[in-house]
Chains A and B, each alone.
Chain A
Amino acid sequence: MKCKKAKDFFLDYSDLSEVQKRFLHEHLKNCPECAKEFEDYKATLGLLQKILTFKPPENYWEKFRLKLNSYPPLLELRNYLRAKLDFLFSLLQTPLLGPIPAYVFSLLLLIFAAFGFSSLSKSGGYSSRNLVNNLIIYEGQLLSASDDGFLTIYTVSQK
């Protein structure tokens, strides 16, 4: 084992497997430099643990007050709404009503399609008013309508 690997190992000493620990100790026996660094690291970690021990001062918990009662109505409302929402979502998950999103989507698609077609039929097509004083060629025939309501149809022959 090389020193670099050993240094990586002793950082994670507490999480090493038995085999890895044995390898590390083998190396430490033959490498005083790494052994010294390992001891330093262990001592430093111990120092950190010691200094960061949670020793609250006296009377620490005296002012520990939880304001739990300050907003119970709001809390109840929230829990009520949550329960309703959860119920709705649980409905979606039942096998019978399972694909509700799919139903809704296809319904929306149908509605949009219907709107689309109706608007098409309004803009396209001919009404009788459009014909007045206009010449229209329709399926090889010339159509002409006049104000008095007569419609003349001219057939255009190939000649």
Chain B
Amino acid sequence: MSFENLKDEKLTRDGEKSLAGVKEEQELLDIIKKAQQGDEEAFQKIVQKYKAQVAGIAYRMIGDYEDAKDISQMVFVKIYQNLNRFDTSKKLSTWLYRITINASIDFIRKFRKHKFEVLDNIIGQLKEKKNDVEKVYQRGLVRLAINDALDSLNPKQRSVFVLRDLEGLDIKEVAQITGMPQATVRWYLHRARAKLRDELIKHHPNILEKAGIKYEV
């Protein structure tokens, strides 16, 4: 199921490039050039366009919405300070993603391992009283298991997994963002997936049932 999604996304991205993408790229380039000349309004446009993507990557790296917001604020300030050095012949998103990934890795190393707001989530959902206790509890357990599994990845494995399997970027882009050769990216990806599989399927054999996922072989 997930693989097909990835493929579709890739197709539409390529399709866009040939049609409306060219015009959009030109517009973005104009905005970047204006921002480089000190136009703050133009910079705010860049922020509006990319803030959800940046915060999304940070969230998937860290697992906390508030920390993800702090990181994206840091990322955009950094972008603002260094915008003059940005080479307009390259893709802005690659640069943005690289800074986001590095900031997230720094954050993990400095402050703590990642955490998910498991308890907050459970309490919040119970307060809504829409869900029955058992279901919410099971969901919390699933979340904890995923939490542990993601914790077992080192920062490099985690960043390639987030970029490739969760964000759906292709290997080439991941290699550009992380600054690693493509073969290395493939190797880290393979290790990350194997680790996640071992952690989730072997240590929590019932996780799919708990999460309510049913499928037929």
Contacts and interface: CB of A to CB of B under 8 A. Distances in A.
Interface of A: 8, 11-15, 32, 35-37, 39-49, 51-52, 54, 56-57, 60-61, 63-68, 75, 78-79, 82
A60 B165 CA distance: 25
Contacts of B164: 14
Interface of B: 1-3, 5-7, 40, 43, 47, 51-52, 55-56, 59-60, 65, 69, 72-73, 76-77, 80-81, 84, 142-143, 146, 164-166, 171, 186, 189-190, 193-194, 196-197, 200-201, 207-208, 211, 213, 215, 217
A47 B207 contact: yes
A47 B77 contact: no
Nearest to B56: A54
8 contacts: A41-B201, A49-B5, A54-B52, A54-B60, A66-B73, A66-B77, A68-B40, A79-B84
Which has the most chain B C-beta neighbours within 10 Å: A13, A46, A63?
Answer: A46
Contacts of A48: 146, 165-166, 196, 200
B190 A12 contact: yes
A93 B190 CA distance: 43
A14 B5 CA distance: 10
Contact of B171 (A8, A11, A15, A43): A15
Contacts of A78: 81
A159 to B, nearest CB: 86
